[in-house]
Structure 1
Amino acid sequence: MKKLHHSNLIFFIRSGVFILISLLSINIKAQERCAVPQLLEERENRKPELSTEKFEKWIEDKKNLQSPFSQRTQAVTVEIPVVFHIIHNGEPVGTGGNLLKSRIDRQLEILNEDFNRLNSDSSETLDDFKSIAASFEIEFVYARQDPDGQETNGIVRIPGSQSTYSYQERTILSAESYWPAEDYLNIWVADLAGGSLGWAEFPVSNLAGLDEASNNRLIDGVSLDYVYFGENPDSPTFESKGRTATHEMGHFFGLRHIWGDGGCSVDDFCDDTPEASSSSTGCNLSKTTCGSLDMVQNFMDYTNDECMNVFTLDQKTRVRTVVENSPRRLSLTESRGLENPPVFNRDLGLTELNSRFTGSCSGNFNPQTTIKNQGMLPIGEYSVQMFIDGILEETIEFNDTLQSGQEKTVYFSLLNFEETGQYSIFYRVNLTNGFEDERMENNQKLEYYQKLAEGTLPYEKKFQNNIAPWFIRNIDEEETWTLYDNAIGIPFYENRQNFGQKEEIISPIFDFTTIEVPELSFVFAQAEDSIPNRVSIYASYDCGRTFNDLVFSNSITDLSTAYEVDSIFSPEFRLDWDTVKIDLNRLKDEESVCFNIVAENRLSNNFYISEFNVKESDKKNKEIEIIRWEDINPLFCDEGFEGILTIKNVGRENISNYKIQVLNNNELTKEYIINDEVLVSGQETQVEIIIPQPEQNIGEYEIRVITNNTEEEVINTFYLPFQNNCFEELPPLRLSLRENDNDNWFEFNPDKDQGWVFSTDNRAVNSNSSNITKESSEDWLISPLLDVSNTNYLGLIFDLSYRKPFRQAEKFEIYLSDDNGKNFNSLIYSKSGDSLATSFGNDVPNQLIWRNEFVDLSPYVFKEKIRLAFKVTHDNGQNIYLKNITFFVGQSPPPPYPNTRKPFVIYPNPAKNDLNLHLNLEIAEEGFFQVLDMTGKVMLEFTEPKILNQFISFNVSQLAEGMYILRLNTKRITATERFMIQK
């Protein structure tokens, strides 16, 4: 059976009654549910040494070195040390995911039963397969000592940072709790998302050059959903009997699904497992595919737990080959985790202290540590010393007897640190009376005390030249917060091997009772990566001793600001930086608050912070903001204004009454008082506004929304310029884009923030979005009124350029009005972000990249008169550039005009019956055409009321063969071109 499979990571996913997911599934539905096949293909593309072909050749070579006798009958039982990481949501033991030890014990028993064919249901194996049923001679045992050499029961209970984990977040899950994968089989038990019951990391070979093939030892292990862990009669879809762990453990040791994750032509590389067309569910013992009985009872299928009961001899050979040769599988059998922790006669050690770092407002500190007699003999005389910044501060001597295994907490004298700063506190325990401690590495502990500075509000810290008065807490003593140019950051990119390490920096202490509505903000930069670094901010109310209040996490707000790079990311441009604002109103009564910024290494690029501010929030208790004017009508023809004003409650409180005023030349024209509805904080609503026709032809309305906020009125203003503009243009028409000449175009800028501007360098208009900071601000560019009553076909063509930054996304839309511009209700073009972009990057380009756009306006020519409105919605990103905005007479975009300065070209030349003119004038005007023979006699003439860039065809079949001249006369130019008639 020759088959092909690509994988280094295996997932086992069941959902509902039907189970269908594989490593390289050919089933489209499965691929939609899980991105594993794409992930594995990407991994193999990046690391060809991880290919299935190489791994399978390695296994085959290793198997050939062993005799069939040793493969099948004489395998020596090996022990594997297991640590169960129970990742729960803070429940007490025995509730939810914080499983009882008895259930964990039973799961370990099930693994040993299934891998050694001691399972009670082994007798139910079909007769067809009993002769190839195998015991692996593998015993899974609880680890006997932890990585520090201390005694352990092999179970670690940790509150997780997330409520659930998907397989895409396996690095996050493994980082919650991890023991070195060379010495311990890590089994993570958590609430798994996305229908996953579990997954396992696939082993690697030790072929030459593959020493680093795994690439991530920090996720090596097995992950299981707690609902399907051990025996659970209440598990959904099928009753869990602990076989999910058996299945995933098979993957951990190199077994593949028995159907090969494909069909009858795809192999699991075990000759004694019959080919199968797909996975099996339920327990159909008579299922037959690929011309043979399927082994639905095999632990590597997807049948119900009660149906599984067998591994085969070839599966055993494969697993034993991996165990005896794959580097991190072999090292498990030789692990110190299998050994009992070392025992000495006299071993006195320090086990606990206050914490690695602690803080205080007063400078008072109660130092303490815990000692334990870890030796076999009782200890009667000993002392504990405390050093402050390397100087002996205090020694406490003891003459009482400390029995084997007994602990004692030692309390030192109260310390008082008067100066702001960081102090090292070193503890050392010593045996006295001439006895020698037989193990010295556990005799000392080091912690740090930080007396934090006091900050005043409002507070602004720019990390330009120093970090002080902030304090770094570098618990792992590796990479940490570092001062860069005008920022602090962490060199994560240079330290990608330190997954999960957390770097902390502590702010000064603030009295929040001195500020009404506090708001925290920080300016940050980080390049995009597959798994962004985790950044959290915690608040402390006890001067930095504990930080338990999470006030910000990027699990909610993505902190990527720039596109991914294959080098160290260093922010250079304005758009490389962004700001997060955090409402801290709930802290306004706290007298002592400091913050801990925690950045966790997720193997991503460097993370930077340039500013940290705490100040009064701009957000008022009661405030309404004007968002936009719907059905905009700044141009009018003998009628009044009417439209819909969209407003939003941007305050903290609900608002039940407010008013809208319309002013013209500072005189009140209209007033709307609203007191019949409650506008909830954050809610938008719409108000219909009707304004009488103004007396003047050109002017500007000021629209105010007024809210009573405590003792003051909060006023937000929106400007509506107007113009009595009924002047009609005939197509074709082009926006000239010359300063002080806008061809009767009209700009509507309701916030008076500059909006559309002329760019001399690019001979284009640009949206000025990079300078407009108001969120979702809009600006409009409105065309003249077009008379299309005599036009059969009409198209809009324009050139557009927009460089899409990573974080921001401008939006560009075109609306059409068929009522003289009174209402723009027809959206005919809309693009934003990636779809709008002609290039990507946070830098301002030296040269714009243009794209030509065409919009067919022919469906609207029956309206007789139309206007267009070009609207940009700003995001303070990059400018949108427009040029060559032209109304073109035609139904399809014109071909590119030849690279010539001539006002027109003619073709075909020679012509026979019809002659085509392609015009390209700078300004639209009336054109007078003549066809003359070579003597100057006028043979044909006609007038076009308006020419610009259209095509004109006319019949020349009545002309005799010969050479002719086409002459064009306008008020501005005279141009001629020769052509030939050939019959």
Structure 2
Amino acid sequence: MKRIILILRIGLVLSFLLFINSATLFAQQLLTPSLNTSSQVPLEKCTAPLMEQKQMEALGIFGSKEYFEAWMEDKIQDRKSANLRTTMDEVRLIPVVVHVIHNGEPLGQGANIPLEQIEAQIRILNEDYNRTNPDAANTLTAFQPVAANANIQFVLAKQDPRGLPTNGIVRVQGSQSEYDQSDAPRLSQLSYWNSEEYLNIWVAPLTSINLGYATFPLSDLDGLNFPPTAKETDGVTIDYEYFGEGGSAINASQGRTTTHEIGHFLGLRHIWGDGGCDVDDFVNDTPDQNGPNSNCQTDRATCGNLDMIQNYMDYTPDACMNLFTQGQLERMNVVLANSPRRVSLINNRATQDPQIFAHDLAIETVIDPKDYICSTTITPQISVYNAGTNSLTSAEVAIRLNGQVLEQKSFSLDLDQGDADTLSFASIQVAPSGNNFVAEIVSVNGGADENSTNNTRATSPVIQPNLSLPYTYSSGDFNSVWTVKNEDEALTWETQPLTLDGQSVEALRLNFYNYETSGATDYLISPQINLAQFPDAQLVFDMAYARYPQTGLDDQLIIGISTDCGNTFDFINPPYQKSQERLETATASTAEFIPSSQRNFRTEVVDLSPYADEGNIRIAFITINGFGNNLYLKDIRLNPNQATNYSYTLDELASPSPLPDGSQENDVIHLTNTGQLAINTLLVDRVLNGFAQSLLTLEDMDIAPGEQVALELPSLLRDELNGVEYRFHSPNYDQNASNLQELERYFYQDAATVAVPWRQYFDNLPELDPWVTVNPENGQTAWEVVTKDGGQNDNLAVLQTQTNGNTYWLGSPLMDLSNTSRASIFFDRAASGITGNTRLKVMLSLDGGNTFGQQVAIYEGETLNTITGDSPVNPNTPNEFVKEFVDLSEFTGDGSEKVRIAFVLENGTENTQPIYLDNIELFLSDNPNPVYPSDGDAVLYPNPATSIFNLAFNLPQREDVRIQIVSTSGQVAHDVVYPGTLNQTYSFSSELFAKGIFIIKIQSETLSLTKRLIIR
């Protein structure tokens, strides 16, 4: 078996801690990440640094702090040169939509926060950003000259995206109980209004690690395109317990979490610059500060000057925040005057009452036909809504194809303002291409529609080709079978000849290396595939990609699925989405990446069976440009079944054993590749005692199909009982759900030692200690101590209940047998009704219990029974027990410094009767029939003696024993102290003594004997 010493990459998570110091205090503290942490992931008030990093990853250099700050400084200087200044009468209105994402609670309870809480937050924002907050007078004297009125007012939107009146609040039941920043697309999918016109604030139950997060603004660089999700997730997200005050908010909340996060949204950084005294927040009038502040200590000075702990961009408790500065206002002014999706917010239509007409029926969308169609037979449908004030009872709508009216139809309606309906028409036939479809409202309520601007919608339907499976891409399919969608009309998918290992092949390339439009998307779209015919289909392709070795220049590949013939593709939950190290297949390079070998490619598999119920689908290879390095595809296949896959099994946890001593460095797991593809990379999540540990990335393994390997993972175990869950997934970063393999094991780590010889009768003990026990499969109760009926301190060990397929371990402390050449153990056992392959094994370890490589005894099936019949053993009946002897002499001497024995019961069932162990004793001899004195006594034998005489002991505990042998004349022939005497037998040669009579004196803590010895 190949043993792999793995290359590991450990994913670390930044964590922040929330302290509730009083009813009004909360703060954060940055913790050092650790691989083997056992603490819970703590609270983080603000994830701005992480959000900025994600923005940079998405946009590359254009999303970086350096680029943004250079742009910001230029704009500030431009405004100063132009003498632009915000005056008190230049109030800027920003429309806000609050998306309340709840878990189904009644209105006003839990996450479904009451209206009063939302109104309180809007009031607090307007006070804070206009310096009318009641605590403004508390600003320290030193900072009053720079305290600023931003002249920004936040208003709940007055008209929705359709132009209808609104209160600016949307309530939606969410899809999960809590969310973190990675769920931003999911929150957006639940509820979103166009971020060009609205400040979206999502109020939701967030995970316990953060209170809120916001997206940073971007520069207005000409030609800069944004990632597809950037617009949809632009805004602010706040935990519902920290939004506003009152209602569901905690007592500590005074609404300043939202004030803080909107500061980020408008371009402000943390006042300490997310660093120390030498890190800047790029604002001149905020003093340097060595980290965040967590209390109201106003005399705090960390960088040689007074800290501005009252600034909204610190982590100060809400009750102590009260100012923005003039320098921060300059930054907000630049953002509101220049930044995309910020400049368009100011005083836009959403801040104004909508213009409403009495009779106004609007076409919202053409449902069918869209631009891409999968059949030339169409049943036209449109979605309409009442945008006017009067109820609508009827409408006449016409549809035209290439200028010819196909149908003009009257519809009965019952629509109040905002109500919507779907209107259907008779089926039509369209040509495969060259179609111009138009739907138009002709009249409403028997008269003219008073607003003609929303009366017409048009599409250009084109039939899409079908694809039968199996399918393999071949030269010439690029433009004839597959469709390229190139929205920016710049670089896009193209064919590219390659020479791989001396062979010429055709590949498809996206030239990211020379593609400067960061964030641009390009689509390579398949024909339509009928999954009703192929419900178990899969997509397989070979992909090659090398990263450009610069932070932020990361490209993405997404496999999008369309269920509407290719008109839209799911970006939120695609079956395949990779970037950075999950996408790369070759070494990063500053040179343009051109594959030269098949080893530069990796086979990717996408399971399409989850979409089987959708019928016709289309697949798109979607790329998002990060101005990184080139991406190549080849050998695209669509199989009617799961013919190719990544598959593997976790065969066993080879080490450590369930009873290690802590000296082990690694956990060794045997894994077999059972799939058709080699595995080079695996991801491993581990949970120790209920706490998630750092992600491990196992790399450079090269496990061939059918091969079994031993994987070494750094050990996590701690002393005493440990439960570890191993979750292996994503072979070669494969994203199919079927590739999760889990293994759960329990360990009892203990390095306690015991001097030899020893005995374990379990008497006078409420617990097994110093022995240990564990059920490695499920952590259930294993061996226990029980008291015999009527016996005072007369105990024994029992395994009461068992579960099918489980094992139950009882282990000794560590012992050193290196200083003896002989050793053995005796023990009493009892069992009944055992059949089949249930067995009790005695195992021995030479490495402290990390591995048990020696089986020194086994009792299996009926041979395990000590009485006949199925009745349980009576532990109070000695004759139902059998005494066993096991010689351990083979495992003594050098190399036997850390010996541990374990009794292991396996293959039992729920019906297995209790099994008992008692009177376990280790002797430093190999005599299966030793002379055994009565308790607390010593025996001299043989006597008279001719060649050898022996003294055998049976003491209650290890004692130092003095043995004197004195002649009848009073001469001392032997006087030695024998330390640690318990059950030893000491042998003496008669030849060392004269013939005659001797007196033997034996003295110890509990023993004082005199014996008469005759030597012949």
Compute the TM-score of the two structures, normalised by the length of structure 1.
0.48
Compute the TM-score of the two structures, normalised by the length of structure 2.
0.46
Instruction: Determine which structure has greater relative contact order: mean sequence separation of CA pairs < 8 Å that are 6+ residues apart, divided by chain length.
Output: 2
